[in-house]
């Protein structure tokens, strides 16, 4: 190739290189034939380089896609873990509220039972007090009756023996 000559790439460059090679071989110009072969090799190398670059871009795009998939999977797993944690916390809170409600209900039941027992005790005490009052009234009535009987007996004894005093 001469210093100032530029070659086209791709199919046109390959055809031009082949044409130079054939023309150089036909005319016995070995330099032109060599230049044609070099131009063809250069076009082939450009094509191979372009294919390798395309393959490299493809591999890079696949690697980026795989990285995005990994990131997405990691994010999904993290969100699932967060959701599971929230569900556990919600379940714990529901259990705590239920336990508090049960404890409050049990406390109310115990308070009602204690109040019922207190009222029963008061009723029993009132009944005992009433019975004791009735007994005292009965005893007082008995005492009055006995006193009256004693006075009558004294009066009879006095009537029978007025001087027995």
Tens digit of each residue's pLDDT (9 = 90 or more) over 36-62: 899 888 888 988 999 999 999 999 999
- Alpha-carbon distance values, 95 to 86, 87, 103, 158 (Å): 14, 12, 12, 92
Mean pLDDT: which of 10-14, 20-24, 37-41, 123-127 is highest? 123-127
Q: What is the pTM of this model?
A: 0.43
Reported as a single tens digit per residue, the pLDDT across 102-114 is 999 999 999 999 9
With 60 as the cut, is the pLDDT of residue 4 above it? no
Q: Which domain holds residue 133?
A: 10-160
Looking at the structure of the chain, the number of domains it has is 1
| Domain assignment present for 1 | no
Q: What is d(CA 100, CA 6) in angstroms, rounded to the nearest whole number?
A: 91
pLDDT for the residue 7 = 52
| Domain assignment present for 44 | yes
Q: Between residues 89 and 36, which one has the greater pLDDT?
A: 89
| Domain assignment present for 32 | yes
Q: For residues 105, 107, 110 and 111, what is the CA-based torsion angle, rounded to 10 degrees?
A: -110
With 60 as the cut, is the pLDDT of residue 5 above it? no
Q: What is d(CA 81, CA 87) in angstroms, rounded to the nearest whole number?
A: 10
| Domain assignment present for 72 | yes
| Domain assignment present for 121 | yes
């Amino acid at each position: 190739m001469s210093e100032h000559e530029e070659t086209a790439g791709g199919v046109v460059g390959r055809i031009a290189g082949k044409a130079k090679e054939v023309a150089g071989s036909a005319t016995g110009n070995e330099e032109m034939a060599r230049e044609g072969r070099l131009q063809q090799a250069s076009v082939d190398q450009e094509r191979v380089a372009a294919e390798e670059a395309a393959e490299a871009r493809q591999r890079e795009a696949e690697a980026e896609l795989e990285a995005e998939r990994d990131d997405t999977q990691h994010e999904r797993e993290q969100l699932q873990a967060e959701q599971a944690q929230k569900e556990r916390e919600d379940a714990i809170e529901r259990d705590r509220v239920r336990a508090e409600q049960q404890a409050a209900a049990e406390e109310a039941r115990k308070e009602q039972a204690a109040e019922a027992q207190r009222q029963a005790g008061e009723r029993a005490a009132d009944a005992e007090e009433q019975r004791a009052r009735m007994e005292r009234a009965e005893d007082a009535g008995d005492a009055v009756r006995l006193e009256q009987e004693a006075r009558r007996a004294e009066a009879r004894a006095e009537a029978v023996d007025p001087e027995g005093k």
